[in-house]
Structures are given as C-alpha cells and as structure tokens.
Structure 1
Amino acid sequence: MRRTLAKIVAPRYVVGAVTVLRDSEAAEGEDRLLLLRQPHRGGWGLPAGLLKKREQPVVGAARELFEETGVRVDPADMTAGSPNAIIHVVGVVDTVFFASVPAATTPLRVDGAEVLEARWFPVADLPHLSANTAYLLGRYGIGPQAK
C-alpha cells in the first residue's frame, strides 16, 4: 500500500540528452554553435531527444545528434556538462554533453519534418531561442541568459 501511494504522488521526470555542438574551427573568441529549427518549438534549439530504455545518456546524445543533423560524433569524444543534468520546470531532465566538429567540412542533413533547418550561429549573435534552450545555455554561461 505504501509503495503504491509513493508511486502515485512521487514526481515523474522524462529524461533526455542534449548536445551543445561547437565549431572546432571558429577563430579565438568567435565561438559558434549548431542550432536547429523545429516545427514544434517557439525558437531555435539544440539537438536533443529522449533516452531509450537503459540507454546511456552520452550514447543517447550522440544518437539524437546524428538522427537530427546527420553529424556523427563518437560518444567517447563528448564531454559531460557540469552540471550534467538540467531540470526544467515542465518535468524534463536534460543530460547535457559538449562536442565539437569542423563546421566547414561537416555536412548537415535534416529530414524537413522533425527538423526544418540546421545552422551554425556565432554565440555573440544567437537567433531567438526556445525557452528551454535559452535556459539550458544560460546555465553554462552561453547566450542571453548567461549567468
């Protein structure tokens, strides 16, 4: 009875994985990020998605990055953000990983349905971001909500 009651009232979270992908060729002080425009978001966002059952977060981040952009990054080449998990108000926990690729020689491939467009943006001139993306990047000192 106690276990059942605890399951009913305990908060539930959906766990996802996010990749902050930087341009490894950007000049010093000219950091660039890969952002996505998706039909269901109210602004540009990061490559992200939900983890599969028993999937390691870094593997999920690499998988979602590839599925949404066509960019393949080995999970061993991804660095966990610090903090690694960001809790959003809507009951979503994002595990965050950083990686970099050379933008000039890395082709981007989007499906036109889930992701409408993928583009590189200078951190100093980011477009309108979705609320979750602005919050997440701000936690790492990036973008309009940088702390």
Structure 2
Amino acid sequence: MKKFKIKTNLVSGIIMGVIALILILVMPSQVRVPAYDSGAPSPRIIPGICLAIMLVSSIALIIQSLVLKQEKVVEFDWAKEKPAILLILGMCVYIGLMLCIGYVLASLIVFPLALFYVGERKPGPYIVVLVAAFAIFLLFKNVFNISLPALGLLGGII
C-alpha cells in the first residue's frame, strides 16, 4: 500500500487556519446579537476569542514550519490507518442515516454492522447494542424530555 509523509505543523496550521477563517466569517449569521443592549457581553465574545486564538495558533504553526524549519514529519501508512478511517466514515454515514430515518433505525443498522466489521461474531454484544439503542432513545425521550431524531412511525416511537 501507499505510504506518504506529512509535515504536521504545516498541514495542521493550514487546515485549522482555514477552518478558523470560515467560522469567523460564518459566525455573524449563526450567533445573533440581541436586539437590545443589556450591558452583558455579546454571545459572540467567547466563540470569537476561541476562533482568534485558533487562527493565531495556526499562523504560529505555519511560521514554525516554513520560517523556523521546525517540523515533525509523520509517515502515513494507508494499510495501518484504513480501519480507523473506515470507522470514521461509518460514523459519518450513521449521522446521515440518523437525520434521514431517525436515531433508532439508524442505530439498528449501523451498530451491528460496526460490530461485524471489528470481528464480533457472538450474539450477545449484538443484543446489548440493540437493546441499548432503544433504552437510550427512551431515556432521552421520557426522562430527559429531549427528542432524538425520529422517523415518525408509530407516533415518533422509532
């Protein structure tokens, strides 16, 4: 399989800098300022400070890599990293399924597939995962009064 080297300071500095810039630009449309001035700090202050620190840190990493030539190089081996990347992609699919068909049905599909992927063949863990999906849904719905994504079948039970 393919191996390649990653300059961690440069790559992480660029990626986090781009993310910080995007979030700084998007924040005014996502975090509204109250119509009246109560004298309290704006709801944007903490996210703004965090994003500014993130941007400054990203610039520092890029400078450290390009100007000071201080770099940690990591070798990325696709064969070793493939299982973890596939599990992360599986969780992304799970989120998409959850938004489309609801928490319970998405959990009933994805969690057994994840168990199978990691090599579990005994029926016990599958039963525990399926019961836990229902139990978590009922806990959030009936105890915490928080609605998880639902399909709408049977009055939102699943």
TM band (smaller chain): under 0.3
Larger helix share, 1 or 2: 2
Point out which structure has higher relative CO (alpha carbons under 8 A, 6+ apart): 1
Given the two structures, how large is their TM-score scaled by the length of structure 2? Answer: 0.21
When the two structures are superposed, what TM-score results if normalisation uses the length of structure 1?
Answer: 0.22
More strand by share: 1
